[in-house]
């Protein structure tokens, strides 16, 4: 058996051959992951690249996704508003028309993300114009989604019902 000691596979470095065997008498290599965890892996899995970490790579990806999915509903609309106000100080003039007016905090995506780039300080007039446009966009998107549901399967099903009746 070719020694893999000292070799690197992704985040794993092979330390030694472990005494552990599976039911086919395959030997496992004891590896040290960059995160500090130890991992037992077989030559085949290491060479094939199917094992690249103790499992922390996968966990890291999932954690990232979880954080990215942060939505305003977790703390409520007002919680997000306060958070944005703390992190995005109110400018002197409207970020849209650059006029000095009374400003309102507007959410761009309408998803109330915990992302200051998703908010802008704009005047009431710009806010209303933008909200109106957003509403139209959302309505159009909803219509498109509903339209998609009318797949050939749906139509065939509906026609089948009609025939039966």
When binding is defined by CB under 5 A, the residue of 4, 52, 53, 112 that contacts Zn ion is: 53
Contact between 12 and Zn ion by CB under 5 A: the answer reads no
CA dihedral 108, 114, 116, 117 (to 10 degrees): -50
Q: Distance (Å, rounded) from C-alpha 138 to C-alpha 108?
A: 12
Question: Per the structure block, which two tokens stand in for 21?
Answer: 């065997």
Dihedral sign from CA coordinates of 153, 159, 163, 164: positive
Contact pattern from residue 58 through residue 97 relative to Zn ion, giving x for each residue in contact according to CB under 5 A and a dash for the rest: ------------------------------------x-xx
Task: For Zn ion, give the closer residue by CB, 32 or 75.
Answer: 32
Window contacting Zn ion (CB under 5 A); options: 15-23, 40-48, 104-112, 114-122: 114-122
Q: Which of 4, 46, 51, 54 contacts Zn ion by CB under 5 A?
A: 54
What is the DSSP-derived secondary structure letter of residue 34? Answer: T
Q: Among 15, 17, 40, 56, which residue sits at the site for Zn ion (rule: CB under 5 A)?
A: 56
**Is 41 among the residues that bind Zn ion (CB under 5 A)?**
no
Q: How far is the CB of 37 from Zn ion (least distance, A)?
A: 5
- Name the minimum Å distance from CB 134 to Zn ion: 15
Considering only 35, 40, 75, 105, the residue that binds Zn ion (CB under 5 A) is: 35
Pick from 136, 150, 102: which is nearest to 122 by CA? Answer: 102
Provide the minimum distance between the beta carbon of 148 and Zn ion in the complex, in angstroms, as a whole number.
Answer: 36
Q: Which two structure tokens, joined as six digits, stand for 103?
A: 């400003």
> 110: which residues sit within 8 A by CB, 6+ positions away?
134, 138
Considering Cα of 75, then 76, then 79, then 80, what sign does the dihedral take?
positive
Please give the residue ranges that form the binding site for Zn ion (CB under 5 A).
Answer: 33, 35, 37, 53-54, 56, 94, 96-97, 122-123, 126
């Amino acid at each position: 058996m070719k020694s893999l000691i000292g070799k690197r596979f992704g985040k794993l470095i092979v330390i030694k051959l472990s005494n552990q065997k599976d039911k086919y008498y395959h030997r496992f290599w004891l590896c040290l992951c960059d995160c500090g965890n130890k991992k037992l892996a077989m030559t085949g899995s290491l060479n094939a690249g199917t094992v690249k970490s103790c499992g922390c790579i996968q966990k890291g990806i999932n954690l990232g996704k979880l954080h990215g999915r942060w939505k305003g509903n977790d703390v409520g609309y007002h919680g997000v508003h306060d958070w944005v106000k703390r992190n995005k100080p109110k400018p002197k003039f409207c970020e849209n028309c650059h006029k000095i007016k009374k400003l309102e905090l507007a959410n761009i995506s309408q998803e109330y993300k915990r992302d200051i780039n998703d908010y802008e300080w704009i005047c009431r007039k710009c806010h209303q114009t933008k909200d109106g446009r957003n509403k139209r966009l959302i309505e159009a998107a909803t219509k498109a989604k509903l339209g998609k549901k009318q797949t050939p399967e749906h139509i065939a099903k509906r026609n089948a019902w009609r025939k039966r009746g």
